[in-house]
Protein backbone atom coordinates (compact mmCIF):
# COMPACT_ATOMS: atom_id res chain seq x y z
CA UNK A 1 0.00 0.00 0.00
CA UNK A 2 1.46 3.31 -1.08
CA UNK A 3 1.72 5.75 1.82
CA UNK A 4 2.74 8.72 -0.35
CA UNK A 5 0.82 9.29 -3.55
CA UNK A 6 1.40 11.63 -6.43
CA UNK A 7 -1.59 11.05 -8.65
CA UNK A 8 -0.52 13.21 -11.56
CA UNK A 9 2.31 11.59 -13.52
CA UNK A 10 2.85 14.74 -15.56
CA UNK A 11 2.09 18.46 -15.65
CA UNK A 12 2.66 21.01 -18.39
CA UNK A 13 2.79 24.74 -17.65
CA UNK A 14 3.61 27.89 -19.57
CA UNK A 15 6.69 29.85 -18.57
CA UNK A 16 5.86 32.60 -16.07
CA UNK A 17 2.71 30.88 -14.79
CA UNK A 18 2.22 28.98 -11.56
CA UNK A 19 3.03 25.26 -11.29
CA UNK A 20 1.13 23.33 -8.60
CA UNK A 21 2.29 19.82 -7.77
CA UNK A 22 0.17 17.74 -5.44
CA UNK A 23 0.86 14.96 -2.99
CA UNK A 24 -1.38 12.91 -0.69
CA UNK A 25 -0.37 10.70 2.18
CA UNK A 26 -2.06 8.12 4.36
CA UNK A 27 0.22 7.78 7.40
CA UNK A 28 -0.76 10.23 10.14
CA UNK A 29 2.57 9.56 11.88
CA UNK A 30 4.53 11.40 9.19
CA UNK A 31 6.06 14.53 10.72
CA UNK A 32 8.29 15.90 7.95
CA UNK A 33 7.50 16.31 4.30
CA UNK A 34 10.02 17.05 1.61
CA UNK A 35 10.11 17.80 -2.08
CA UNK A 36 12.92 16.62 -4.33
CA UNK A 37 13.69 17.56 -7.90
CA UNK A 38 15.32 15.16 -10.33
CA UNK A 39 16.86 15.80 -13.72
CA UNK A 40 17.54 12.88 -16.10
CA UNK A 41 20.79 11.00 -15.35
CA UNK A 42 21.15 12.74 -11.98
CA UNK A 43 20.16 11.86 -8.43
CA UNK A 44 17.28 13.68 -6.75
CA UNK A 45 18.18 16.98 -5.10
CA UNK A 46 16.47 18.40 -2.04
CA UNK A 47 14.22 21.36 -2.78
CA UNK A 48 12.13 22.32 0.24
CA UNK A 49 10.61 20.74 3.34
CA UNK A 50 7.90 21.39 5.87
CA UNK A 51 7.33 20.19 9.40
CA UNK A 52 3.92 18.90 10.40
CA UNK A 53 3.61 21.74 12.91
CA UNK A 54 3.50 24.26 10.08
CA UNK A 55 1.11 24.80 7.22
CA UNK A 56 3.35 26.77 4.90
CA UNK A 57 7.01 27.13 4.10
CA UNK A 58 8.43 29.45 1.48
CA UNK A 59 11.83 29.62 -0.19
CA UNK A 60 12.11 32.01 -3.08
CA UNK A 61 9.88 30.88 -5.93
CA UNK A 62 8.97 27.67 -4.09
CA UNK A 63 6.24 27.35 -1.48
CA UNK A 64 5.00 24.17 0.13
CA UNK A 65 1.56 24.05 1.74
CA UNK A 66 0.47 21.36 4.17
CA UNK A 67 -3.14 20.49 4.98
CA UNK A 68 -2.93 17.93 7.77
CA UNK A 69 -6.65 17.34 8.07
CA UNK A 70 -6.79 16.42 4.38
CA UNK A 71 -3.40 14.65 4.48
CA UNK A 72 -2.41 16.70 1.48
CA UNK A 73 0.53 18.85 0.52
CA UNK A 74 1.32 20.88 -2.51
CA UNK A 75 4.33 22.57 -4.04
CA UNK A 76 3.81 25.90 -5.78
CA UNK A 77 6.41 27.29 -8.16
CA UNK A 78 5.92 30.92 -9.13
CA UNK A 79 6.90 32.03 -11.69
CA UNK A 80 7.72 28.80 -13.48
CA UNK A 81 10.87 28.73 -15.60
CA UNK A 82 11.98 26.27 -18.30
CA UNK A 83 14.84 25.18 -16.02
CA UNK A 84 12.22 23.91 -13.56
CA UNK A 85 11.36 21.12 -16.01
CA UNK A 86 12.18 17.94 -14.08
CA UNK A 87 10.56 15.13 -12.12
CA UNK A 88 9.39 16.22 -8.67
CA UNK A 89 9.16 13.69 -5.84
CA UNK A 90 7.20 14.13 -2.66
CA UNK A 91 8.65 12.33 0.38
CA UNK A 92 7.77 11.93 4.05
CA UNK A 93 9.42 10.70 7.21
CA UNK A 94 7.79 9.24 10.27
CA UNK A 95 7.97 10.12 13.94
CA UNK A 96 9.71 7.71 16.24
CA UNK A 97 13.29 7.64 15.06
CA UNK A 98 13.01 5.85 11.72
CA UNK A 99 15.74 6.96 9.32
CA UNK A 100 13.87 6.32 6.13
CA UNK A 101 12.03 8.55 3.70
CA UNK A 102 8.97 7.24 1.87
CA UNK A 103 8.66 8.58 -1.67
CA UNK A 104 5.85 9.09 -4.14
CA UNK A 105 6.12 8.04 -7.79
CA UNK A 106 6.94 11.53 -8.95
CA UNK A 107 5.36 14.11 -11.26
CA UNK A 108 7.11 15.17 -14.43
CA UNK A 109 6.85 18.94 -14.83
CA UNK A 110 7.38 20.52 -18.23
CA UNK A 111 7.61 24.30 -18.41
CA UNK A 112 7.14 25.53 -21.95
CA UNK A 113 8.90 28.72 -23.10
CA UNK B 1 35.41 15.83 -3.78
CA UNK B 2 32.17 16.74 -2.02
CA UNK B 3 28.73 15.21 -1.70
CA UNK B 4 27.83 11.63 -2.54
CA UNK B 5 29.75 9.88 -5.31
CA UNK B 6 28.58 6.70 -6.99
CA UNK B 7 30.56 4.48 -9.35
CA UNK B 8 30.15 3.27 -11.97
CA UNK B 9 27.57 5.56 -13.59
CA UNK B 10 26.50 2.83 -16.00
CA UNK B 11 26.81 -0.94 -15.77
CA UNK B 12 25.76 -3.71 -18.11
CA UNK B 13 26.05 -7.20 -16.73
CA UNK B 14 25.01 -10.70 -17.64
CA UNK B 15 22.84 -12.78 -15.35
CA UNK B 16 25.78 -14.93 -14.27
CA UNK B 17 28.15 -12.04 -13.53
CA UNK B 18 29.20 -10.66 -10.17
CA UNK B 19 29.67 -6.93 -9.88
CA UNK B 20 29.69 -4.28 -7.17
CA UNK B 21 28.33 -0.75 -6.94
CA UNK B 22 30.26 1.73 -4.85
CA UNK B 23 29.10 4.78 -2.94
CA UNK B 24 31.19 7.28 -1.03
CA UNK B 25 30.02 10.29 0.95
CA UNK B 26 32.18 13.22 2.01
CA UNK B 27 29.60 14.95 4.20
CA UNK B 28 30.32 13.40 7.58
CA UNK B 29 26.86 11.83 7.65
CA UNK B 30 26.23 8.77 9.80
CA UNK B 31 23.46 7.09 7.80
CA UNK B 32 23.64 5.67 4.27
CA UNK B 33 20.97 4.15 2.06
CA UNK B 34 20.44 2.17 -1.11
CA UNK B 35 17.34 2.95 -3.15
CA UNK B 36 16.11 1.41 -6.38
CA UNK B 37 14.26 3.43 -8.99
CA UNK B 38 12.35 1.48 -11.62
CA UNK B 39 10.27 3.04 -14.34
CA UNK B 40 6.88 4.34 -13.16
CA UNK B 41 7.44 3.20 -9.57
CA UNK B 42 8.26 5.12 -6.40
CA UNK B 43 11.79 5.11 -5.14
CA UNK B 44 12.10 1.82 -3.26
CA UNK B 45 14.20 1.65 -0.13
CA UNK B 46 16.51 -1.37 -0.13
CA UNK B 47 18.90 -1.02 2.80
CA UNK B 48 19.69 1.42 5.60
CA UNK B 49 22.96 1.64 7.47
CA UNK B 50 23.46 3.78 10.54
CA UNK B 51 26.98 4.05 11.95
CA UNK B 52 27.99 1.05 9.77
CA UNK B 53 25.24 -1.13 11.21
CA UNK B 54 22.44 -2.34 8.97
CA UNK B 55 19.19 -1.12 10.48
CA UNK B 56 16.83 -2.03 7.68
CA UNK B 57 16.59 -4.62 4.95
CA UNK B 58 13.42 -4.00 3.04
CA UNK B 59 12.81 -7.63 1.98
CA UNK B 60 15.47 -7.41 -0.68
CA UNK B 61 16.42 -10.67 -2.49
CA UNK B 62 19.71 -12.20 -1.42
CA UNK B 63 21.21 -11.64 -4.87
CA UNK B 64 21.73 -8.08 -3.59
CA UNK B 65 24.30 -7.98 -0.79
CA UNK B 66 25.20 -4.69 0.91
CA UNK B 67 28.43 -3.90 2.68
CA UNK B 68 29.27 -0.87 4.81
CA UNK B 69 32.89 -0.98 5.98
CA UNK B 70 32.71 2.51 7.52
CA UNK B 71 30.37 5.48 7.73
CA UNK B 72 31.71 6.96 4.48
CA UNK B 73 31.52 3.95 2.17
CA UNK B 74 28.70 1.72 1.04
CA UNK B 75 28.77 -1.11 -1.46
CA UNK B 76 26.09 -3.15 -3.17
CA UNK B 77 27.35 -6.53 -4.35
CA UNK B 78 25.37 -8.04 -7.19
CA UNK B 79 25.27 -11.66 -8.32
CA UNK B 80 22.99 -13.77 -10.50
CA UNK B 81 20.68 -10.87 -11.19
CA UNK B 82 17.55 -11.02 -13.32
CA UNK B 83 16.57 -8.70 -16.19
CA UNK B 84 13.85 -7.19 -13.99
CA UNK B 85 16.61 -5.92 -11.69
CA UNK B 86 17.56 -3.41 -14.37
CA UNK B 87 17.00 0.00 -12.78
CA UNK B 88 18.68 3.12 -11.46
CA UNK B 89 20.33 2.39 -8.12
CA UNK B 90 20.69 5.41 -5.91
CA UNK B 91 22.85 5.84 -2.85
CA UNK B 92 22.05 8.52 -0.29
CA UNK B 93 23.31 9.73 3.05
CA UNK B 94 21.87 11.75 5.92
CA UNK B 95 22.82 13.03 9.33
CA UNK B 96 20.61 11.12 11.75
CA UNK B 97 16.93 11.24 10.76
CA UNK B 98 16.08 12.65 7.34
CA UNK B 99 13.96 15.33 9.00
CA UNK B 100 14.28 18.83 7.67
CA UNK B 101 16.91 18.34 4.99
CA UNK B 102 16.29 14.78 3.92
CA UNK B 103 18.97 12.88 2.15
CA UNK B 104 21.79 13.83 -0.12
CA UNK B 105 21.69 11.57 -3.15
CA UNK B 106 24.38 10.44 -5.50
CA UNK B 107 23.87 10.52 -9.26
CA UNK B 108 23.05 6.84 -9.35
CA UNK B 109 24.22 3.78 -11.26
CA UNK B 110 22.13 2.83 -14.28
CA UNK B 111 22.18 -0.98 -14.25
CA UNK B 112 21.16 -3.10 -17.19
CA UNK B 113 20.97 -6.87 -16.78
CA UNK B 114 21.12 -8.81 -20.03
DSSP state of B59: S
- CA quadruple A73, A76, A81, A87: dihedral, nearest 10: 0
Preferred mutation among B103, B104, B110 to probe A, highest tally of A CBs within 10 A:
B103
Res B39: pLDDT: 81
Give per-residue pLDDT as tens, B45-69.
999 988 777 777 778 999 999 999 9
Residues of A with CB under 8 A from a CB of B: 2, 4, 9, 32, 34, 36, 41-46, 49, 51, 89, 91, 93, 97-106
* A32 vs A14: CA distance, rounded Å: 30
Report mean pLDDT in 10-residue bins for chain A, 113 residues. 90 98 94 92 91 95 97 98 96 75 93 95
Give per-residue pLDDT as tens, B79-90.
999 999 999 999
Res A88: pLDDT: 97
* Residue B71 vs residue A23, higher pLDDT: A23
CB contact under 8 A, B42 and A100: no
Chain B residues with CB inside 8 Å of A99's CB? 31, 33, 48, 50, 55-56, 94, 96-98
Nearest-Cα residue of chain A relative to residue B34: A100
Res B33: pLDDT: 93
Res B58: pLDDT: 77
Reply yes or no on whether the pLDDT at B1 is more than 60. Answer: no
Which whole-number Å values give the CA distances from A79 to A10, A17, A86, B59, B87, in the listed order?
18, 5, 15, 42, 34
Amino acid sequence: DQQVKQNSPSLSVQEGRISILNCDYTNSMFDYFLWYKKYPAEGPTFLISISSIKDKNEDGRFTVFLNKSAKHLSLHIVPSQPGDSAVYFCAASEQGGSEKLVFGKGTKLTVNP
Amino acid sequence: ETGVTQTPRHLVMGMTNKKSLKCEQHLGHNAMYWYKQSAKKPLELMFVYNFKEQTENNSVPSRFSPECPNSSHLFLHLHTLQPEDSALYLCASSQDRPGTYGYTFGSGTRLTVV
